[in-house]
A and B are shown apart, each in its own frame.
Chain A
Amino acid sequence: MIITLMVLAPLGALIISSISGGQNTQNASRQTFLGTQQLVLLGRSVLLAVMAGAGGTMAGLVVGYAVASRPANVQRRMAIGLMLPFSIPPFVQALVWIMLAQMFGLSVHGFFATVLVLAGSFWPIAALLTWIGLRQSAVNGIEAARMGESRLRAFTRIELGLIRPHLVTAFLVIALFSFSDYGVPSLFRINTYPVYVFSQFAAFYDLHSGVMASWPYLLLPLVASWIWYRKAGVRFIQSRGFGFRSCPRVFSPVFRSIWVLTYWAAILVTLGLPLTVLAIKAGHFQTYWTAWQTAKGQIGMSAMIAAASATLMALMAFPLALGIQGRFAKGSQLLNLASILPIALPGTLFGMGEIYLWNRTQTHWIYGSATVVIFLYIARFLPFALRPQVVGLAQIEEGLLDASRLSERSSFNTTWRIILPLLSASIMAGWALAFMLSLQELTGTLLVVPPGMETLAVRIYTLYHYGAGQLVAALALFLVALSGLMFAVLTIFHQWIQRR
């Protein structure tokens, strides 16, 4: 019921609007459904997605393997390091490369620049999934393969096969994110399908044309979700039985150094370099002070909205996760699939849906306040708060729950004293992910932002076009700092809980 209300309602409203004819304001160029222009743009976007997905997955595979090759106590710290590049949103990565090129009198834009930046933004997803997959792999099988085969053959024939579900998942997630991204292609001045849909709706507010143009957004993720579920989903989710044990990978000192260098090179390029470029561009301390003075309202508003959204998502995700794990409801697999679908849909669709739902006199208190932005973020990012809890629940030993029931504890007591504490890491991971994504969201926010509630991401994006490079760089650093700070606080908090 929660998914229906928060996630599917805006989408359902759009579909109803498209069938009924919907709202129609001035529209100088009413587009037909999948005309030549749309097909060209759709093909361009699909190619972009496939190339970014492939590039990001390959880069992530190498770095993920580098992490898995280290001793167990080092792996966890390196895995935390893999989360840090997420604090820089893709459109800020694009700004960084534009600024860097300008420092050398060059210009960077176009299709391949877009592919590189998108792959460079999302490779940590593949790295983390590769690492998780390698840790979950059947240790005995890998060791047996190494006794009989060369290292390379053991890797290509055995290890890659074992982590295939994780690689497929990584490829699809990166491809879908790249397909629906608006910020990077618009900054690199290439017209893709998401840019076209956003411009059509934002310019003409023609809901009907916007929805008709958005049908590929609904079909492609469905296809991708089906592929994922058939090829990877079941094996990806069911990680019980192997547990988290590192498989010892013994390398020569040279190879060990190469793995370490690979890891640090990836972190340097996607985290160190952007931070350095932004700091150089921002320049003097006065720029940071000016940025703070002019944007402290937006910084506070962004943090507050993101925190509220992430909290509500974490609360909603728990009963949903229980449902998906089959503890409450039948049809858990259907619920699981439905919970994955919104991952691939672009912010434009959700923004359009929220406008159609709430831009009415009776719901003025929603449309004209931060509530509409919070609803947008929940609709868009609830699956990200949900997935860690689903995986976390799958890790809980049934024996613990059986023991709790045998000791005559009520369901509430079992949930409060057994399940929730064991799930705390997953809840916090989901909260952190939802917070970062909400903080960085651009496309949907551009459409629904109420007066006086401009978020930091929107401010950075709009100011960039007016040539305020120094100010933009300083604000981008504030955005990264907010994400990083929240991540650090949660990591320390979780480690404190683990030690006590």
Chain B
Amino acid sequence: MKSKNIGLRILTLLMLLAGVSFLGSCGKRSANSTVVVYTTHDQIYSEPIFRAFEEKTGIRVDAVYDTEATKTVGLANRLAAEASNPQCDVFWNNEVVRTVILKRKGVLERYVSESSRDIPAGMKDPEGFWAGFASRARVLVVNTNLVASKDTIATFVALADPQQQGKVAMAYPLFGTTATHAAVLFSLWGDAKGKEFFQKLKANGVKIVDGNGAAKDMVARGEASYAMCDTDDAYSGIHDGNPLRMIFLDQGTDGPGTVVIPNTASLVKNCPHPEVAKKFIDFLLSREVEGILAKSGSAQMPVRAGIPTPADVPTLSSIKAIPVDWEKVADKQDEVAAFLSDLFVR
């Protein structure tokens, strides 16, 4: 019995230590040594940027990442839900539309970074609430074992042809850049053509999966011949040695071009650490970061000319891109999402 009491005392001591660790985990962040970033950019590529900032400035980055299943939308809505009690300082979004919507909801604050002076006008908010950098393009990945070069489709609308029955995979179009792509198409084509296209796509048996990466993986495994995804997904699949080819659609003289989507950086209104947040945005929008992201596995295309990129990463000037009015696309977002949600019930 005496030994059991000894054991209990040791146990009690351990419990006290655990309690201390509990209290220690609840410490408050220092105003000038921590910045809180919510990012929808793939964690594996955004973390090195955070580490680079920490090394350069000594300011710790506390990050929240989103899940592939609720890409971008989830984190944007978390920001909106926290608007009265902001936890986040900087929102690093991997697309534009949700950033525009957050601006409209009053979640963001105007900040024009010095680093954004040389970013092209079409890649930043004229009112200074967000700036774009390190872009991706929407592309088609093709399984080279299943589809010969001469048979590969060249236009986006061809994905809905009956010949492509059961051959196409796509991320769930309510989230991420697929949702953005859909909204851009609706604003470009009009509602009638947009609805007709997606209805045909569904009738064709398009395979809906969680995320661009999953769509790319289906094509890599031969479970689908084509998938719509982003350039970073395509590059990672090709570099992994999969039988994939990447196609920029609608590049012909009559074609509208493909959708190019930049990352965006924005300051959160009433954020807890505004001064360090501005320093982080300055760093994020720098040419240095665009160069790092271009060389990384995500192969992001710099929005500014003159930044060295690997040979297999195209420049924006070499791609025909759809000129996008992001405000108009944001106007269409809810309506398009409602339609697609009813159409692609899972």
Q: Is the CB of B70 within 8 A of A467?
A: no
Measured CB to CB, the nearest residue on chain A to B233 is A467
B85 within 8 A of A: yes
The residue that B68 contacts in the complex, of A355, A416, A465, with Cβ under 8 A, is A465
A311 within 8 A of B: yes
Q: Is the CB of B44 within 8 A of A463?
A: yes
B174 within 8 A of A: yes
Interface residues of B in 38-76 (CB under 8 A from A): 38, 42-45, 47, 60-65, 67-70, 73-74
Measured CB to CB, the nearest residue on chain A to B16 is A311
Q: Is the CB of B3 within 8 A of A500?
A: yes
Q: Is the CB of B236 within 8 A of A359?
A: no
Q: List 6 A-B contacts (CB under 8 A).
A: A203-B174, A311-B22, A454-B64, A463-B43, A467-B217, A500-B3
Report how far A315 CA is from B16 CA in the complex, Å.
11
Beta-carbon contacts of A455-473 to B below 8 Å, as 1s and 0s?
0000101110111100100
User: With A203-B77, A204-B77, A301-B25 in contact, do A364 and B69 touch (Cβ < 8 Å)?
Assistant: no
Q: Is the CB of A308 within 8 A of B25?
A: yes
- From A9-17, A67-75, A220-228, A367-375, the one touching the partner chain is A367-375
Q: With both chains docked as a complex, state the minimum distance between the C-beta of A429 and any C-beta of chain B, in angstroms.
A: 13
Measured CB to CB, the nearest residue on chain A to B175 is A203
Q: Determine the chain B residues whose CB is within 8 A of the CB of A198 once the complex forms.
A: 69
Beta-carbon contacts of A328-367 to B below 8 Å, as 1s and 0s?
0000000000000000000000000001000111001101
Report how far A446 CA is from B65 CA in the complex, Å.
9
Q: Determine the chain B residues whose CB is within 8 A of the CB of A467 once the complex forms.
A: 44, 213, 217, 236, 240
User: With A371-B26, A451-B64 in contact, do A199 and B69 touch (Cβ < 8 Å)?
Assistant: yes
- How many chain A residues touch B (CB < 8 A): the figure is 69
- From A25-33, A47-55, A242-250, A258-266, the one touching the partner chain is A25-33
Q: Is the CB of B25 within 8 A of A203?
A: no
Q: Is the CB of B22 within 8 A of A374?
A: yes
Q: Is the CB of B67 within 8 A of A29?
A: no
A257 within 8 A of B: no
A477 within 8 A of B: no
Q: Is the CB of B62 within 8 A of A451?
A: yes
A449 within 8 A of B: yes
Q: Is the CB of B338 within 8 A of A370?
A: no
Beta-carbon contacts of B77-92 to A below 8 Å, as 1s and 0s?
1101110110110000
B337 within 8 A of A: yes
Q: With both chains docked as a complex, state the minimum distance between the C-beta of B136 and any C-beta of chain A, in angstroms.
A: 14
Measured CB to CB, the nearest residue on chain B to A307 is B18
User: With A421-B5, A468-B44 in contact, do A452 and B63 touch (Cβ < 8 Å)?
Assistant: yes
Q: With both chains docked as a complex, state the minimum distance between the C-beta of A172 and any C-beta of chain B, in angstroms.
A: 28
A203-B175, A204-B77, A496-B7 are known; give 5 further A-B pairs, CB within 8 A.
A26-B80, A369-B25, A371-B25, A497-B3, A500-B6
A279 within 8 A of B: no
Q: Determine the chain B residues whose CB is within 8 A of the CB of A204 once the complex forms.
A: 73, 77
Measured CB to CB, the nearest residue on chain B to A200 is B70
The residue that B11 contacts in the complex, of A374, A427, A462, with Cβ under 8 A, is A427
Measured CB to CB, the nearest residue on chain A to B21 is A304
Q: Is the CB of A452 within 8 A of B26?
A: no
A287 within 8 A of B: no
Q: Is the CB of A462 within 8 A of B68?
A: yes
Measured CB to CB, the nearest residue on chain B to A309 is B22
B282 within 8 A of A: no
A240 within 8 A of B: no
Beta-carbon contacts of B171-209 to A below 8 Å, as 1s and 0s?
000110000000000000000000000000000000001
